[in-house]
Structure 1
């Protein structure tokens, strides 16, 4: 009798262990042989930038596409853009975020404005050129970068990629923030300040046309200060993530194209998201580019989505691009 009792207890214990093992940890990631993460959240926060930039309107479109494809409620969140967005992914305030390629690299490396590496960031895709625009008016008399000396200039919000772009452009011109009265303003506040005369010029990094600058151009004659070819090349030699670019004629009422430089806008995602979810997010965006009404939509393509990405790509996004035959350059 005792033997049968003990045997029964052993068999019951063994069955309980087997059932526990089969139950596993169901966090929604599935068993796909090596997920980066296992998280399928109930809500996806998509960190963008200020309402006057390019990230915010594009983010609204992307949020709708992601919501439709995944069924997960997705919201575009305003922020101070690139650097803050990396912190938002790291502390769980956002799952997807816009960021400049240079800032994403700094975040992963733990350099510049980042005290230590952020290990939770992965690349999803690059999107379009982020043009550095030095904005002023015809009445300011500012025609060159050197003319900014002694002026009141907005260099972007504290911690933003724009601020670092401004610092690096001034550097190759033998200048620094000490040569001017610096303001740390959003794009909207920058253009408002130019219009009311409280500042003379502003650095704005964003896809052209940028909404805040379009609004300014409707009120005054906008001037974009050029970055000369030799200075652009010097900048590229020092910081290879830059490329030459221009603000095309017709934008902001410009009569001719203005040479400048650019970095790339990209989307980053949390490494905690499952491969399947990131695959669905990537697919939602790149198979619905015809839904992007912003002028920068013409640059957003799977064919170029890995160009200059600079950080490790999330396996879920990589799976999608592998299926499309897209390779990094």
Structure 2
């Protein structure tokens, strides 16, 4: 049976159309960042889910079935075709998120490659290079300090008086099994496997389990679509001894621009080309004057207890004088 469900995000409205099981599944995957609410017919995107199909408009990745995506940006229509009931809503979610992020950038959002959480009453954005520990730290802070997970890898920062807020998005979390001993509280492979039972790619990538956003609740993580930004911390797994250091404004500006995303999405280039592939309107350095920024250098393993303790100092130090 075909059904229609309107959704809204921070920036736009959408109308999901398709088989009820697919539409409901997509809405579950998108929550709480997209929530059921009336969509303005004049500006909403129509997202149609269709399957099964023999279309091969886009090549299949090694871990997913063939599928195709068709869109008309002027008419705000998107149709996803896929023969797999388990993959169809997830693939549609990826395109939906790309459209939403593109609209966010045109409205002034600044994308950072990082995770965002609330912990101990503060909003914290974690940035860093690959394997710096962003996912491990984000999940541990939420689970240890009764926080909220805003984003694992999809942080959008907005200037809203009197400061900055960060909004997240429904993005799957890839958790390396080799990182589990570092999580706080402890996270066993069995507990992770029990929570992450719905992602269709699980079992196809060695040493990695994929957790859907909604499944994070099974690990004790509560979710929030946005949070106030009180601090931004760059993680760097290069030190033998852990050290938290407050950055001055120039250092913070350099760090923030280093972790700024340059596009609305790293993939789905054809869709972005038709959307105009909006780049951030402002450099991330504008955040440096308003938000406390830090660098936390740490060993590869065993650093989470010190990091959680070090958070007590976040926001309490004087900003180092900027060299002029």
TM-score range, shorter chain: under 0.3
Larger fraction in helix: 1
Larger Cα Rg: Structure 1 or Structure 2? Answer: 1
TM-score with structure 2 length normalisation? 0.27
TM-score with structure 1 length normalisation? 0.26
Q: RCO (CA 8 Å, sep 6+): is it higher in 1 or 2? A: 1
Larger fraction in strand: 2
